Amino acid sequence: MAKTILVVDDKANVRTLVREYLDEQGFHVVIADNGQNALYTARQEKPDLILLDIMMPEMNGYEFMRTYRKESDTPIILLTAKLEESDKVIGLELGADDYITKPFGMRELVARINTVLRRIGKTPMPSQVYARCRYCSGYRSPFCDGQ
């Protein structure tokens, strides 16, 4: 089952770009254009993870986090143009799980999403198969020939 990602940004081009790329990567994506609409969407859709801009009209990302954290522990990755260390610290102290500054690379974004989902147990640990051995990152040694 595809993981649901809520993308919250006041810029339509950012929402579209992220939605299209995440769709291609197999995620189910819902969008909101400000914090107030994000609260409604998050309550209805129950996303597995939220990508959240900070600087938005009506309700900014910090206000969204203060409100939403009272009712949910859904992971939040801040996706913002704010570069100052103080902004990062505020976001993380309010409960963000990660902080990505704009501009950002799509592959890095997906890697960070998968990392957060894996850390909270919403996706299995990755495993890789080499010849007749399988290496699971949660174990120290590979399983070879079924052993």
Q: In this structure, are residues 99 and 88 in contact, taking their beta carbons and an 8 Å threshold?
A: yes
Read off the pTM. 0.81
Q: In this structure, are residues 115 and 107 in contact, taking their beta carbons and an 8 Å threshold?
A: no
So what's the pLDDT on residue 45? 97
Distance CA 147, CA 140 (A): 14
Answer yes or no: is pLDDT of 142 > 70: no
Average pLDDT, the chain: 86
DSSP alpha helix (H) spans, 48-99: 61-68, 85-93
So what's the pLDDT on residue 126? 52
Q: How does pLDDT run across 64-121, given as a tens digit for each residue?
A: 999 999 999 999 999 988 778 888 899 999 999 999 998 899 999 999 999 999 998 8
Residue 74 domain boundaries? 4-144
Answer yes or no: is pLDDT of 141 > 70: no
DSSP alpha helix (H) spans, 7-59: 12-24, 35-45
131 or 81, which is more confident: 81
So what's the pLDDT on residue 67? 96
- The fraction of the chain above a pLDDT of 90, given in percent, is 67
Average pLDDT over residues 42-61: 95
94 or 126, which is more confident: 94
Q: In this structure, are residues 15 and 33 in contact, taking their beta carbons and an 8 Å threshold?
A: yes
Distance CA 63, CA 110 (A): 25
The total of structural domains in the chain comes to: 1
CATH number at residue 32: 3.40.50.2300
Distance CA 129, CA 142 (A): 9
Answer yes or no: is pLDDT of 132 > 80: no
Distance CA 118, CA 25 (A): 16
